[in-house]
Structure 1
């Protein structure tokens, strides 16, 4: 019998690792672990992401029980949980889907070594991306550091690949018939149910076909809201790419950006904590805590920045165009370390994914692979004129805008811009 360990793939359909387990010729017992090493870092005990995971796991559990099987739901350190299960069941091994973040890779290495010591198999599969690890490389067999050639190679490789759905749902007869078990309660995992809900994805033809026309207008609810579902695997990347190919090439490029950032983090894990390029590691950040607090609360006096931060704090979501503006403001106007902003987004975003978050923050900071030039600084007022000229989005989130209750700008943008460029130049000069 095999364990199939669900992680960032919370679906029974079109699941690569699950499919391979079910077609292995062995019975399959599904498993999910609430990982205490991850949960310990979450300060908000009503974290909406945990609620979403719990709801998704519960739904899977109910479907599996209707098939006469079950989903084992455990709480603890994965290596300890799995070692215990090897004592309770006559296992041949574990199947799972790969994860590319630094913590996950170290965790999986430990479990692989434990399984090897026990004489059991540990087998992992590609599922959350179309291409992984060394599949998209330069002619010199090195990772791409620039998006456009990566995208072009990705598209060429995709034409020659299958990338067909993994029809795991056709092989449920291979599920291990198991007595009913219960999903752990919120209390048992140390959390409580959040009132904040992850929105369902909108993958309608109407939304996707208009994506390139509407994606920069934050006043419109015109995005797919797919990102948290890709993050937790309730929707498969193969399904998303199929829809993108059918409806919108611009949307497809955003999916490829996700894979670009994911493979950058895989090849350069240190970039999660340090600027990708060493020449930007000596920037003298101001890191004013009071100014950071005003940014977090959406009280900077720059209405597009404030609207974005308030939207994030209230909903766990922020429009992508606005994410670029608020990130540029924190880094360039306030000269606060991009890692402060990255950590705040990690705490708040429903769709938080380390690779995309780090990649986009380093892009905004000008410190990352294929980033905007360090001397490019978003002008918050110009961004309003381009993307929210009637202040519809701003007034939705900053109702006091235009009244005496709204604060004056906390910095002079032009002066702050020059201050930031000077700091970057000094860092470059130090490194040489």
Structure 2
């Protein structure tokens, strides 16, 4: 009988190691055909931002090269996955389709529909846990409800069975005798051209699984020992820089977890940040409109003033006259990344000094961050706004001048990214704008 290939559908898991879907394809013993679908058509799917598209192009290139080295090929298709995957399965006469689970509502809806339709066609279909240490439905309060506060959530996670050991990458992959047609990646036009604004991204990042593994080893060998002390210093080197690697699945959280634990270093603080990522996905799973709707409904009453486009543009361009804010926003535009402490400061400035709706900032970060994902990006914006889970209270307003003194005392970070910032007058008075924000917050207090 002719072989009935296993179709392995890659999504946010662009790696060969610790990939349960790929392992299932190998274990089935038939040829493995790998596929990636650029799905911008399924209902509710949020189009990727510009920085994310850049990363995806290069990570897919790296994945395709590794698959070819192992003996198979990556097939690229574009369209609604609910149509593309069954069509491709019929085209190659697949006997099975495997994928790793996703957790946003639109993705889960697509996946559930595909399981039903593919099984009705007689195919073996399985999905696997590969992107989260603790799937959202497995962590519940004693009352059976989702967690709304991080500390008890993370404590509950740590009382569950330890995360499984990561899977080794396959030594080889059995390829097909013939392959279906594949799109040309360049035809997807994921890279910016007119203008090409990605020079800073190319300078800072090397997407792909092998580079991700190298960074994990480097961080654990050189930086994690200083993580708890120096992680809030934007000019320091203690930041792991692993967030885009996890977002695109070039590393799994299981790999990160076990490598950290086995490193022998003090890693509890670092692993709690991995836990914060888990908490964001836990929250999104139970609040699927996180990117558009206040988690705390009392904030629906917040009296946002009419948008002043010039203020929003000044913030986006790093031209506010507030040095730490401008440095952060310019780092973001140049590199697709911003230090986490500075993300909080720039977000607080937009929301509470400029009185601009957090959703405007979330949209900008979605477009410009290489690590923006459907959970962490809106979750962290709502945390700063005060409207989210376990959020900072609205009256906690980050003073960017005090933050700069505390975490960039020698001015190194500001000099690197915004050397001219001191020459600009601030676009708002920090004290007066803080007072205006607190006055506006009274409406929310009364609504609550």
Q: Which runs of 5+ in 2 are unaligned?
A: 193-197
SS in structure 2 at match of 1:217: coil
- Cα–Cα, structure 1 residues 168 and 243, in superposed 2: closer, same or farther, change >3 Å? closer
1:74-111 CA-partner distances (Å, limit 9, x unpaired): 22222221122132122223110011123322322332
> How far does residue 42 in structure 1 lie from its aligned partner after superposition?
5.0
CA distance in 1, matches of 2:81, 2:293: 28
Mapping of residues 22-101 of structure 1, within 5 Å: 22-37=26-41, 41-42=47-48, 47-101=50-104
CA distance in 1, matches of 2:445, 2:122: 52
CA distance in 2, matches of 1:377, 1:65: 51
Kept after mapping to 1: 8 A contact 2:321/2:427: yes
Moved more, 357-366 or 213-222: 213-222
CA distance in 1, matches of 2:180, 2:300: 51
Kept after mapping to 1: 8 A contact 2:51/2:368: no
Mapping of residues 331-350 of structure 1, within 5 Å: 331-350=351-370
TM, length-normalised to structure 1: 0.91
CA distance in 1, matches of 2:440, 2:122: 56
Kept after mapping to 2: 8 A contact 1:69/1:178: no
- Cα–Cα, structure 1 residues 345 and 114, in superposed 2: closer, same or farther, change >3 Å? same
CA distance in 2, matches of 1:71, 1:212: 40
- Cα–Cα, structure 1 residues 26 and 428, in superposed 2: closer, same or farther, change >3 Å? farther
**Could you say which residue in structure 2 is the equivalent of 1:419?**
436
SS in structure 2 at match of 1:13: coil
CA distance in 2, matches of 1:260, 1:165: 21
Moved more, 350-359 or 419-428: 419-428
Kept after mapping to 2: 8 A contact 1:71/1:181: no
Kept after mapping to 1: 8 A contact 2:7/2:89: no
CA distance in 2, matches of 1:116, 1:377: 53
Kept after mapping to 2: 8 A contact 1:102/1:269: yes
Q: 2:402 aligns with which of 382, 385, 390?
A: 382
Q: How many residues align?
A: 421
> How far does residue 2 in structure 1 lie from its aligned partner after superposition?
2.2
Moved more, 160-169 or 280-289: 160-169
Mapping of residues 95-114 of structure 1, within 5 Å: 95-114=98-117
Moved more, 87-96 or 210-219: 87-96
> How far does residue 27 in structure 1 lie from its aligned partner after superposition?
4.0
Kept after mapping to 2: 8 A contact 1:61/1:71: yes
TM, length-normalised to structure 2: 0.88
**Could you say which residue in structure 1 is the equivalent of 2:166?**
165
State whether structure 2 residue 334 is matched by structure 1 residue 317.
no
**Could you say which residue in structure 2 is the equivalent of 1:224?**
240
SS in structure 1 at match of 2:35: strand
> How far does residue 9 in structure 1 lie from its aligned partner after superposition?
0.6
> How far does residue 412 in structure 1 lie from its aligned partner after superposition?
1.8
Q: 1:281 aligns with which of 289, 300, 305?
A: 300
- Cα–Cα, structure 1 residues 36 and 134, in superposed 2: closer, same or farther, change >3 Å? closer
Kept after mapping to 1: 8 A contact 2:322/2:421: no
Mapping of residues 138-157 of structure 1, within 5 Å: 138-157=141-160
CA distance in 2, matches of 1:4, 1:333: 48
Moved more, 13-22 or 256-265: 13-22
Moved more, 132-141 or 55-64: 55-64
